[in-house]
Every structure is written in structure tokens, then in C-alpha cells.
Chains A and B, each alone.
Chain A
């Protein structure tokens, strides 16, 4: 079963300052769900607008694909260093 990442680790550092963040995505998911519920009526309005243009299927599919992209981010790891600048992002 596909699950979204639980945590995201972000590290940004340059010569002057640094940032080290652990983002608890599992805590943000209920918030995202709440936003989705709020936005849902808008979506229901937008879909009939797109209906005649033949984009309704695409508009509906996009939610599924976006969710799939978020879930697929588990295991992503980007680690970049250039002189004194450092950027790291990882999702677990």
C-alpha cells in the first residue's frame, strides 16, 4: 500500500547560517485533509465548468497523481555541497 512519507529532513547551510529541520509530515496530513475538505466544494464547482471542454477526467485524475507523487517521495535523498553551501533533503 502506498503511504506518504512520515518525516522530511531538510538541512541548509552556508557560511553565515545553517538550518536543520525535521518536518513531521504525518502531522501535516490531517491538516492537508482538512484543507481538502474545505476546498472540495470548489472542486465540485470547477469540475462541471471543465465538463464540456473534455478536461473533467484529467481534472479528477490529477488528484490521484499528485497523491501518488507525494507517496513516491519516500526514500528521496538530495545531498549537494558547493564550497561552503550545503543543501540536504531526505524523506523517510
Chain B
């Protein structure tokens, strides 16, 4: 039993509120709870529907005057990320250590041994909320998002 319900019942027991009032308060609590659960569920569903990770990088139009602009436009299916993560879990420990070492050499402090298949859904769900939008002073833009 949650705290709010307990308080309402205590108030009813102490005759501070009538049965009718207690009923109304309890109903209001239930309505509030079901609404918040519904919102959470729809948010999760929309996140799970995310299909692609998009990366857009466009260079400064001024700097590229006379040239075609530099650009990167990448669309990666989320299923590919999931499959890739599954693949990393199959790598032998020695290979994982090598990858971790190579990443560390590049300044990325990421231990591949911590990447577990059971964390995959949580990771992908968190990734669905990712949105990076950087605009450089010379007009370069970097956008990373999930759609």
C-alpha cells in the first residue's frame, strides 16, 4: 500500500474525513496513477519504435566557396546497432582486450568487457533519447539523433 492511500485511510479512521471524501480521494489517486502509467508506456513505445540513428555533418558554406560542400549523411538502422552489440558479446576475451586497449590509446575510456547482452535494451532505449545538435562558429553543423 502506498503512502497516500495509507494517509487517506488513517484520516478516515480518525474521522477527519467522511467515507465519501475518502472514496473520492482514492479514486483521484487511482486516476492520477493510471494517467502517469499510460504516459510512461506511450513514451517507451515511441522510443522502441525508433528505427534509425541519423548523423548529419555539414561543413561551412563560406569555407567551401567554389567547391562542393563537405557533408556526411549517415542513416544506421537501430537493428544493426543491436546486431553489432550482439556480435561484440561473441568476441573472445583476448580480442575484447585488444579493442579496449586500442580505444584507450585513442583516448576513449570504454571497457568492452562491461558490454553485456542484458544491458542492450536499456542502452538502445537510452540511445533513442539521444540528440546532439552542434553548430560551429564557422557554420559547420553536426546533428546526431534517432528517428
Contact = CB atoms under 8 A, between A and B. Distances in A.
Contacts of A58: 90, 92
Interface stretch (B3-11, B77-85, B101-109, B135-143): B77-85
A55 B70 contact: no
Given A79-B71, A80-B72, A81-B69, A69 B84 contact: yes
Contact of A81 (B70, B79, B80, B83): B70
Interface in B51-102: 51-52, 67-77, 79-80, 82-84, 86-87, 90, 92
Given A68-B83, A76-B76, A83 B90 contact: no
Contacts of B74: 77-80
A65 B84 CA distance: 8
Interface string A21-41: 000000000000000000000
A72 interface: yes
Interface string A41-82: 000000000000001001001100110110111111111111
Nearest to A75: B77
Contacts of B73: 77-80
Given A58-B90, A77-B73, A69 B83 contact: yes
A17 interface: no
A84 interface: yes
B84 to A, nearest CB: 7
A77 B75 CA distance: 5
Given A66-B87, A83-B68, 6 more contacts: A75-B52, A80-B71, A80-B72, A82-B70, A84-B67, A84-B68
Interface of A: 55, 58, 61-62, 65-66, 68-69, 71-84
Interface of B: 51-52, 67-77, 79-80, 82-84, 86-87, 90, 92
